[in-house]
Amino acid sequence: MYYYGMKLHTLGFYNPNKLPHPEQIIFTQASVNDFTVFKEAWSEKENRTFFGDKMYNGRDFLTDIDNKFNSEMLTPVKAVKGIPDILKKFDRAANDLYSRAAPKIRQPIEALFSWIIEKSDIQKASKVRSTFGLNLHIYGRLAVAFITLIFNS
């Protein structure tokens, strides 16, 4: 038995009260880290605000994109081990507010992924037996989903 798996990465434009408009969609092997995709595909985009999860937090690389490309990555606050309780309590209110706001901003992209899954049934590839077959399945299902979006809007 063989296992073929892919991961879908999407960079989308904010679209108030609607699903985001995908700017770029990338498929990678399931084992590829999200940060690697960000670094290779999107980190040199200028004048952008990216919203990520806690995994992106505290990376020196993100300071470089702020300095070089005037772009920033906003993420929920990640707890730091070993900080005294007094400092945790001092920053807690601001960190809690910020950490609640960041996921709310990310929610539309999560809704886009749910929409793709619902409209295309993209995750059901049980009869796929090769990499070529998986690519055909993925791109065909994605094309149908977006054609449906175009004609039903």
Domain ranges of the chain: 45-151
> How buried is residue 45: exposed, middle or buried, by Cβ count under 10 Å (0-12/13-18/19+)?
middle
Which pLDDT band holds residue 16 (cuts at 50, 70, 90)? confident
The percent of residues in the chain predicted with pLDDT above 70, rounded, is 94
User: Taking all residues of the chain, what is their mean pLDDT, rounded to a whole number?
Assistant: 84
The reported pTM is 0.77
Q: Which residue has the tokens 């679209």?
A: 15
pLDDT of 9 above 60: yes
What pLDDT, in 10s, does the model give residues 42-56?
Answer: 999 999 988 887 777
* Count of CB atoms situated within 10 Å of the CB of 56: 19
Burial 4-25 (b: 16+ CB within 10 A, else e): eebebbebeeeeeeebeeeeee
Q: Which residue has the tokens 């049934």?
A: 121
- From first CA to last CA, the distance across the chain in angstroms is 42
For residue 94, the model assigns a pLDDT of: 79
pLDDT of 140 above 90: yes
> How buried is residue 47: exposed, middle or buried, by Cβ count under 10 Å (0-12/13-18/19+)?
exposed
